[in-house]
Structure 1
Amino acid sequence: MSTPQDPNVREQPAVAATGSSREAILSTNGLKKKFGGLTAVDSVDFTVDEGEIRCLIGPNGAGKSTLLELITGQLSPTDGDIYFDGNDLTDMEPHRRMDAGISIKFQSPHIYESLTVEQNLRVPLQRTDRDIEAVLERTLARIALAEKADEPASDLSHGEKQRLEIGMAVTLDPALMLLDEPVAGMSVDETADIAELIQSLHDDGMTFLVVEHDMEFVRKISEQVTVLNQGSVLTQGPIEAIENNEEVRRIYLGENA
């Protein structure tokens, strides 16, 4: 995809960091975030390739959510750089990152409870030039909420609210979707629905970075897994290698090595 040009975008360092022949859509270089004397993210070098589903796991306090907030611009890094689609967006405003093709679905649903399902989907579309009616029809079908389009969002189940928020992000046709614990508090059936939705969007070319604690869910969707511990990358690789890593089992899965 082509990122809108911005006077704050520094293209050459991005090319140097990701390499012109690599397929990385997102990468960080020495990314660090300190809160006073606490280092929440510590010199993280991290890459997500275009078209993959990357899961980010780790114990509570490992820095996973902080990393997402740095990527979306909700937090500014203490040090380091963030590159997206060949451009440096380290200092870019959050709304510009959305325009560039990054969307996020937070852990707790961020929807408008008093609006209908369809009205919620219209909200993000107001700032685009997309064919709103066509996008609405397609998105409602994709998130399996077409029959509830005119119902207040407050009447939806927890799982349906999560699907609705994913749908709101999907209306913007992002190149990269960030999901923060998308199946937290869900039933087995609701979790399966979210896994199917992610796979469907992935099949259409969307790239995902997913923070999740539910390892069964991670097994269903992940291609590559990165493990954070104490703000740093502990290890990364396919799910089979991660689950067989003794250090991961000890620190994250609670097993004795």
Structure 2
Amino acid sequence: MSETLLQTDGLTKRFGALTANDEITLGVDRGEIRGLIGPNGSGKTTFFNSLTGFYTPDEGTVTFDGTDITGWESHRIAREGVGRTFQIAAPFGNMTVRQNMLAVQTPKSVDEHERAQEILEFLDIDHIADDDASGMSGGQKKLLGLGRVLMLDPECILLDEPTAGVNPALADRILEHLRELNDRGTTFMIIEHDMDVLKQIVDTVSVLDQGRHIVQGTFEEVSTDDRVREAYLGSADDDEVPV
């Protein structure tokens, strides 16, 4: 029987008259790779921000591994075991790749230099470890963002468009790394607009539309659901949907 690791119940976030997340209830199982999709403006990144302490929810709860983490500060949530990356990778450009990794405060029991080297090798960016991060390609910056999160050894990682703007070869490498991490036990939730990428890696997909969680299922189930067609195209009778 599956065990829920990350759970939201009635999670709501408003910005004035705009309800960006409207009573979202969903659960992510331990060891799962969950996709999160929806039209632009559907509330996906707001949802990530509310899960990870960058926004304080107006209503509802967030539970991680049995602990209510609603309203916790972001650094405390990260230490609890929930890491996240951002759509636009922004490393410290005046620092080397290795220094960017070491800027993350790891648990005191961990040798941070050894851990950084292991992660750099795992992500295949150890050859540029002592180069300035400002000279990295977009894809390499995505890998560095993931590496910085891995320094905290999180149980669950939220990825905001991990392959956006990345060349196909490097995107494939990123997916390989995610699969290996998942095989080791890491749980993922992934926002991704490239449905070909998402189809390769997810176990389950959740769909947001106008701030609401409207559908959940396998990629195949979601891609043929009339509610998803209507969310993306305005009509369930259209022939094609971008999932």
State the TM-score, normalized to the length of structure 2: 0.93
2:144 counterpart residue number: 164
1:127 shift after superposition: 5.8
1:152 correspondence with 2:132:
yes
1:256 correspondence with 2:238:
yes
Match of residue 63, structure 1, among 43, 47, 62: 43
C-alpha distance in structure 2 between counterparts of 1:162 and 1:180, whole Å: 10
C-alpha distance in structure 2 between counterparts of 1:134 and 1:125, whole Å: 14
1:110 shift after superposition: 2.6
1:102 correspondence with 2:82:
yes
Contact 2:160–2:191 under 8 Å retained in 1: yes
Match of residue 174, structure 2, among 194, 202, 210: 194
- Evaluate the alpha carbon distance shift between residue 127 and residue 40 of structure 1 in structure 2; reply closer, same or farther with a 3 A threshold: same
User: After superposition, where does 1:41-60 map in structure 2 within 5 Å?
Assistant: 41-60=21-40
Identical residues among aligned pairs (%) = 39
1:246 shift after superposition: 2.5
Structure 1 stretches (4+) deviating beyond 6 angstroms?
Answer: none
- Evaluate the alpha carbon distance shift between residue 170 and residue 42 of structure 1 in structure 2; reply closer, same or farther with a 3 A threshold: same
Unaligned runs of 5+ in 1: 1-20
C-alpha distance in structure 1 between counterparts of 2:104 and 2:144, whole Å: 12
1:214 correspondence with 2:194:
yes
Q: What code does the residue aligned with 2:199 have?
A: R
Give the paired residue count: 237
What SS is found at the alignment partner of 2:175? Answer: helix
Q: Deviations over 1:87-136 (max 9, x none)?
A: 11113222111110011100011311111111111111456431123212
Match of residue 14, structure 2, among 34, 44, 66: 34
1:252 shift after superposition: 2.5
C-alpha distance in structure 1 between counterparts of 2:131 and 2:109, whole Å: 26
User: After superposition, where does 1:107-146 map in structure 2 within 5 Å?
Assistant: 107-125=87-105, 128-146=108-126
Q: What code does the residue aligned with 2:181 have?
A: L
C-alpha distance in structure 1 between counterparts of 2:120 and 2:164, whole Å: 22
1:13 counterpart residue number: none
- Evaluate the alpha carbon distance shift between residue 127 and residue 113 of structure 1 in structure 2; reply closer, same or farther with a 3 A threshold: farther
**Greater Cα offset, 78-87 or 182-191:** 182-191
1:173 correspondence with 2:153:
yes
Q: Deviations over 1:161-185 (max 9, x none)?
A: 1001100101110001011111111
**Greater Cα offset, 125-134 or 214-223:** 125-134
Q: Deviations over 1:198-247 (max 9, x none)?
A: 11111111000111111011011111000000101110111111112132
Contact 2:8–2:60 under 8 Å retained in 1: yes
What SS is found at the alignment partner of 2:31? Answer: coil
C-alpha distance in structure 2 between counterparts of 1:201 and 1:219, whole Å: 18
Q: What code does the residue aligned with 1:153 have?
A: A
2:225 counterpart residue number: 245
Unaligned runs of 5+ in 2: none
1:85 correspondence with 2:65:
yes
1:231 correspondence with 2:202:
no
What SS is found at the alignment partner of 1:236? Answer: strand
C-alpha distance in structure 2 between counterparts of 1:126 and 1:173, whole Å: 8
C-alpha distance in structure 2 between counterparts of 1:165 and 1:228, whole Å: 25
**Greater Cα offset, 90-99 or 35-44:** 90-99
